[in-house]
Amino acid sequence: GWTGSKTFSDICADPGKHAKFTKNAMKLIDEYDLDGIDLDWEFPGKKGANNSFSPSDAENLSSLVKFMRKAMDDKYKRRKLLTASVPAHPYTNAKGEKMRDLSSFASSFHFINIMGYSLMGAWSDYTGPNAPLYTSEISRYSLEQAVREWTAAKFPPNQINAGFAFFGSIQRSQDGMSSNIYAKANKVAGLDNPLAKIDCENDAYSADVFSYACLRRRILASPNEADPESGFSLNWDSASQTPWLYHSKTKRFVSFDNPKSIAAKRCLARKHNLLGVMLWDITQDHKNELLNAATADIKCP
């Protein structure tokens, strides 16, 4: 992840550590009878939160997963899963350029989960969608862009899951907002945003990120209607295909996903013949509203 990846770079860079890491991973598989291992090193080549990193992280990761794939195949008669959560752009090489050929990763991974979320937030200069379906001049990353770039880099679509967010993010605009989802924001460094905090009964994992369930309890009267007593107005951004909330007095901006936006993302997955979808995470849903939208047999345009 952005956090908790302190030693991944060092392990990948040292072939001598590949065997020990793989042995320990397979020990977990055996102890808990797991289907496999998911590598949640989300941003190779980037520092993250107090993590070591190297420009050669992605190339080194490729060597590690090749080693793991062979070791797991040699040990288990029934092939175990080896998967990864990946950013909304292809891995980058030692020059910082997006890699054009990721087929070696596809040979090792059963599938990848593209994180089509946390693309804008408290660190951004502008308010904007947490998980946009499409890009804009301000929001350079989106789920559609991510799928397009990963497949263009020779990663097969039938080994890709589109990642959906069951959480939202809060920002605070500098000035008032009307119909435009993008506005200059009070940029906040770090994980906590005291300017934007909403009481979510401690179910948020930082002050600026919280569950859809919290929204439904505190702000939304229904998936498509804000509670008038909350002081928030509900809006829809047709370009990014995402809903957003705004409180004119406190200037709090909330980006999240509802059943409508989740259904649109599911249609994108179907259009591109992806393997499926991934949810982060199911515990943050409210009465399965988002899960039902992600799994329903809907008609896509």
pLDDT in tens, 189-245: 544 554 445 566 555 555 678 899 999 988 999 999 999 999 999 999 999 999 999
Q: Give the DSSP H/E element, type plus range, for residue 105.
A: helix 103-108
288 class by beta-carbon count within 10 Å (0-12 exposed, 13-18 middle, 19+ buried): exposed
Q: Tokens 């060092």, residue?
A: 10
110 class by beta-carbon count within 10 Å (0-12 exposed, 13-18 middle, 19+ buried): middle
pLDDT for residue 1: 64
The mean pLDDT value of the chain amounts to 91
Please state which architecture CATH assigns to domain 167-257: Roll (3.10)
pLDDT for residue 47: 74
CATH fold for the domain made of 7-165+260-295: TIM Barrel (3.20.20)
> Which residues is 164 bridged to in the sheet?
279
pLDDT for residue 202: 56
Mean pLDDT on 266-277: 97
Query: Using CA atoms, how far apart are residues 82 and 52, in angstroms rounded to an integer?
Result: 23
Question: How many percent of the chain have pLDDT more than 70?
Answer: 92
Q: What is the 3 state secondary structure string of 23-76?
A: HHHHHHHHHHCCCEEEECCCCCCCCCCCCCCCCCHHHHHHHHHHHHHHHHHHHC
Rounded alpha-carbon distances, angstroms, from residue 200 to 15, 208, 245: 45, 11, 16
Query: Using CA atoms, how far apart are residues 242 and 143, in angstroms rounded to an integer?
Result: 12
pLDDT for residue 199: 62
pLDDT for residue 195: 47
Mean pLDDT on 118-145: 95
Domain boundaries, the chain: 7-165+260-295, 167-257
Tokens of 102: 């990721």
